[in-house]
Structure 1
Amino acid sequence: MEIKAEELLYKLQQGEEQGWPNVMAVYGEEDYYRSKIAAVVPEYVFKGVDPADRDITVFEKDTDLRQLAAVINTYPFFCGKSLVLLKDDKNWTRQESESKKQQLDKLAEILGDVPDYCTVFISAPKLDKRTKLFKQLKKQGLVCECLSIKSYELGPWLEEQASKYDARWERDAIGVVLEYLAPVEKAPLQLLQQEIAKLAVYAGERKTWTKNDVEEIFAALPEVSGFAITNSLADHDLAETLLLLAVERKKGTNILPVCALIMFKLRQMLQFMELRRQGYDQKGIAAELKLHPYVARKMQGQCRQFTEETLQQALLAISAMNTDIRKGGRDYARLEEIMVLLLGNK
């Protein structure tokens, strides 16, 4: 059977008997969900059993299949239950050698006959869906793929996180978070959760989280300092943009990621202006560019202060600068000159 990561995590946390198979495979690139699920599995399996009496075996590297089979088939002495954690990545990727195929077939054989007293939990970044092993896990066990969440799709996840603190976001507060993350394709869930925990402490008994709260707390996100620069640029604020660039230069920040964020913002604004010229309304533009309504509304005002020509010229200048930097050219001083040309006149 297959199950979504959010659902599996929730049901494991509830601790209720689900009648699930005793072989579970959790895989995928989103380590946030895999680590969360792995953390609650022991409590689910050994509900009410003292930690000292729990029979847990972990295989992380160079798994010996004979030893694995022996552990699975050895009845636990203390509590009548055992848990085997399989985290050896080499077990799950199909290779074309005959010996590897035989190993995978042997592993499938072992996992196809796990006694009722034993639970086997598999955690892996990848599982090859073409293998006999995966097909068997899907048919006889439980498989859960942990997919990354795109930054622009993060709204429901953020609402769910707030609800854990009996709190809610103001609409513009979620908009600011999504604006911070706009240059990032995959949302950094682990880091976001840490910042949300800090936000809950900061807000205290106040259960409505505001835009100002987000701006005060989310300083640890690596995108925030870059966002401050692109935001001042989009607001056509030359003095603030130069000040923020000076701060990054003083910190020794590599200029190439800074340029990448600025170029992302310039392209985004150009796309916004092009769609507006084609007759799209704000709602349509937000849908096309996958923007939160708050971000789209804000960008509409920002774009009025630029022309497509000036944005294109700045993009070309930064692109040329990046090429020259790799040949030993100037960096922050030249970027500042480009910003002066872009923002120097209203």
Structure 2
Amino acid sequence: MNIFDFDFSGREMTAEKLADTVKSVAFFNEVKLVIARDVFSAGAAQQVEELIKEQKLGELRDVVLLVCENQDAKALGAKNKSLFKLLSDKAKPVKEYLFLSGVKLEQWVKSQFAARGCSADTGAVRQLVNLAGEDSWALTNETDKLSNFRQNITTADVARLVSGKAEQNIFEFTDALANKQKAKSFEILFKELSGGREPHYIFSMIVYQFRNLLAVKDLAERGLNLSAIQQKLKLHPFVARKLVAASQKFSLPDLKAKYQMLCGLDIAFKEGRVDLTDSLYNFVLA
């Protein structure tokens, strides 16, 4: 199977690129899975609807179109009733996955431990949810970590191994930087430093983020798609999608300049010529 992933939240994505992929002939009669994300939000709904009708995608067996949206049915229907009705046809299955919370979320976490051959008492599960939040991706990662530690998870294990939402703030900070959200970046940086976060750690996370952005941008400009970039850089699919979308906000020379700035800052700090905290603020506002 050939998998093609199109994220319409990126400014460079167009319905024409999606159409070209759908219409292209696959080698060896392989099935094509074409994923289209944020079609309704990007204003491409009408063109996608025309493509579905023109290519009779609901009837083809060698091309599967998967439309993914981060909104409920009511919101999607309000944005484009015609496309939503077409996608909601009984012959085209539509599934809505809602965010879990409260008891349902705790039950889901318990099921994740059980699937890994482990168990966790109610107190441990609640503490894990309080620390990691309602992000299923973060909870899955923490569940993996705890399951590898021991079979019967206790509250003491969670307290020992789960870093909690403070760690998520760093990822929010680097995401804001990557998306050129200066005000949000400055606010999170101030809170983290005021709360005692080590400046060297923040700096290392910034370097890591821009190194990935530079690598993703370089591969994208060489013609690699999302799936190929993810495999080449060994990134989690969620992280790869976010990096590809963020990289579209920069040109390759911009990212090279940012990375060179970070390298220069690293050298200057090690030589005692700059204060790292002040330099972090300057980088965010640059």
State TM-score, norm by structure 2.
0.48
Query: Over alpha carbons, which structure has the higher Rg?
Result: 1
